[in-house]
Structure 1
């Protein structure tokens, strides 16, 4: 395998601090624009957000995107126009297929603790889908020194993953220092690509023994195909928590 890996440093992402919200943008979003970073295949948004206590995103609309949140720490209250109300905690992944249109709000109702999460948007293959909501929990114990499959295409998902309407897979891992996991590239459509995001919570991550990510860094991986292997190793003094997107 001759995978090409390009690192996106944490400090090179878009950044804004609104007081109640501290946010980093991997791709162009809101007032941040960089023509070189607008999307990666169907992956359109990766925002790493920290929301302060008793604040949050008021009700706002979405349509034609698959939108999901990966909770790193704290608690996030979700409410939407489909009638869903839920308190999300670390390990939860909350998924909304916005389809023809939904409205939702995301609030940190905790009195003292911030909530830290990834907000991710993916473009589905087909427009005008029926809106859908799902939450699944992937506890720390399941991700420790393991690569857990979280999202898979609806055509081949089972009860262990959340279904998405495109050729896209998401995984997550929490690697202790010195531990490794191996990902075998999935998917149907060729060529494949992958994006890895190391959360800004500590730890360093080495990819294929040559490329090292530090807190908040990401990596674009191209020149890969189904069946290739990508090796991840925690090389810092702290646990390395990361998410992996495997897509067409």
Structure 2
């Protein structure tokens, strides 16, 4: 492996996990009742990556947030968002629901479907400005836009365009659906990165998707990896070495 990049896996089984019946959740870092001193404060400006599944007709009741930029990447199912800014929307696969909590908002997230669970990734980022005016946006990307490429979904407000969601932080988030025997490369604009493989196959990942990152790090569904670059413009290769499509999120951040 090149000396310019250090990759440290965060295995799925090492994450915090809770099964509340209506909610099955995995926490990459310390969150709620899960605490791990080694994974206490996130990574760079990333503070939370939770992989959640919510039972039909249940969800998170109205609760408050402030300061953080909070967004959900919908994998399967439907998630209804309601907030104190007057927004009410049902989010589907391929959509990202983004809230800049700023000086404070209240919202709820509810699975209104009567038969299907909703599966989504919830992400919190610490913005580089305090007391922002709360705001809300949703954008959608098709599977085709992510197929065998890195699709930019979220970018620093200093660099973003109309196709992406703006965030007040030095962070870019990409999504990809990589087919077997395909590979892609990413050149980091910053010195940190994180990759998360989505658990599309459920809880038994023995026959799930697999990727190789760098020269020799193998990740399975639910796994993640910390990426530290010694210099800017460091290149990372990502290869699907399994027999099924793999869906993952890649963060380029400080």
TM norm structure 1: 0.96
Paired with 1:12 and 1:62, the residues of 2 have a C-alpha distance of 27
The list of structure 1 runs, each at least 4 consecutive aligned residues, that deviate by more than 4 angstroms after superposition, is none
Paired with 1:186 and 1:42, the residues of 2 have a C-alpha distance of 15
Extract unaligned runs of 5+ from structure 2: 201-207
Deviations 1:182-237 (A, max 9, x none): 111124xxxx1000000111311110131110010000011343211111111111
Residue of structure 2 aligned with 1:73, choices 76, 82, 97: 76
Say yes or no: does 1:153 pair with 2:152: no
Say yes or no: does 1:175 pair with 2:189: no
More off after superposition, 112-121 vs 205-214: 205-214
CA contact (8 A) 1:9 1:218 kept: yes
Instruction: Evaluate the alpha carbon distance shift between residue 138 and residue 179 of structure 1 in structure 2; reply closer, same or farther with a 3 A threshold.
Output: same
Q: Residue 13 of structure 2: SS of its match in structure 1?
A: helix
Q: What's 1:216 paired with?
A: 222
Matched ranges for 1:1-248 at <5 A = 1=2, 2-38=4-40, 39-187=42-190, 192-201=191-200, 202-248=208-254
CA contact (8 A) 1:193 1:224 kept: no
Deviations 1:24-50 (A, max 9, x none): 000000000011102101100000000
Paired with 2:176 and 2:159, the residues of 1 have a C-alpha distance of 22
Instruction: Evaluate the alpha carbon distance shift between residue 224 and residue 113 of structure 1 in structure 2; reply closer, same or farther with a 3 A threshold.
Output: farther
User: 1:146, CA displacement in angstroms?
Assistant: 1.0
Number of aligned residues: 244
User: 1:102, CA displacement in angstroms?
Assistant: 0.4
Paired with 2:27 and 2:61, the residues of 1 have a C-alpha distance of 19
Paired with 1:43 and 1:217, the residues of 2 have a C-alpha distance of 16
Q: What's 2:203 paired with?
A: none
Deviations 1:63-121 (A, max 9, x none): 00000000011110011111111111110011000000000000000010000000000
Extract unaligned runs of 5+ from structure 1: none
Q: CA RMSD in A?
A: 0.9
